[in-house]
Amino acid sequence: MNAFEEVVAMLLRGEGYWIMPNFKVVLTKEEKRAIGKPSSPRWEIDLVAYKGATNELIAVECKSFLDSQGVVFKEGALHRANTYKLFNDKSLREVVLKCLVKQLVESKWCRPHPKISLAFATGKIAKITDRNGMRAYFEAQNWILYDDHWVQSKLRDLQDTGYENDIVFVAAKLALRGK
């Protein structure tokens, strides 16, 4: 798991989710053909978050883009469609999320009929127009956007919590102390 995924995972754990990083979704040959990728390996989701109390399941794709332009959203889509396959390919998304639920229920990792959501976590969005477009589009799709503002807010909240022996907690407390 990369460092940004670890930060997002820790923040979601703070909201009561159990986290499974780098989760491999098993697809049958028929399902691979249905998504047009007959030789595809198992599909990997950066983070799978599950909250047992509410039976909520979130498939989270993470892109930090900290030292780059950031996420670009234009003409109603995430720019560079190949980078954001689950968000830009409806048939792929439907098959992968259906298989994810089936796999988790069968393995008893979650209860039957979870409320499933797709989420995108990013450390940087290119421009305010990209941010506004993404927020509106994600809301219309019933997706979740964990943007840099969300991450920063959650990290700031850590300075008021008790000590945890977790690198994200420690770094946040050191960086934010006295601000």
Q: Which CATH number is 54's domain given?
A: 3.40.1350.10
pLDDT digits (tens, 9 = 90+) for 70-119: 999 988 888 887 889 999 999 999 999 999 999 999 999 999 999 999 99
pLDDT score of 27 = 93
Report if residue 63 sits inside a domain. Answer: yes
The answer on pLDDT for 130 being more than 80 is: yes
Report if residue 94 sits inside a domain. Answer: yes
pLDDT digits (tens, 9 = 90+) for 76-86: 888 887 889 99
Phi/psi of residue 66, nearest 5 degrees: -65, -40
Total residues belonging to the chain: 179
Residue 66 gets which letter from DSSP?
A: T
Tell me how many domains the chain contains: 1
pLDDT digits (tens, 9 = 90+) for 13-68: 999 999 999 999 999 999 988 888 888 888 999 999 999 999 999 999 999 998 89
Report if residue 179 sits inside a domain. Answer: no
Give dist(CA 22, CA 1) in Å, integer: 7
Report if residue 98 sits inside a domain. Answer: yes
pLDDT digits (tens, 9 = 90+) for 141-169: 999 999 999 999 999 888 778 888 888 88
Report if residue 147 sits inside a domain. Answer: yes
- Identify the domain containing residue 43 by its residue range: 3-173
Report if residue 30 sits inside a domain. Answer: yes
Report if residue 70 sits inside a domain. Answer: yes
H helices of 61-162, in order, are: 85-88, 90-106, 128-141, 148-157
3-state SS, residue 167: helix
Residue 71 gets which letter from DSSP?
A: B
Report if residue 104 sits inside a domain. Answer: yes
3-state SS, residue 10: helix
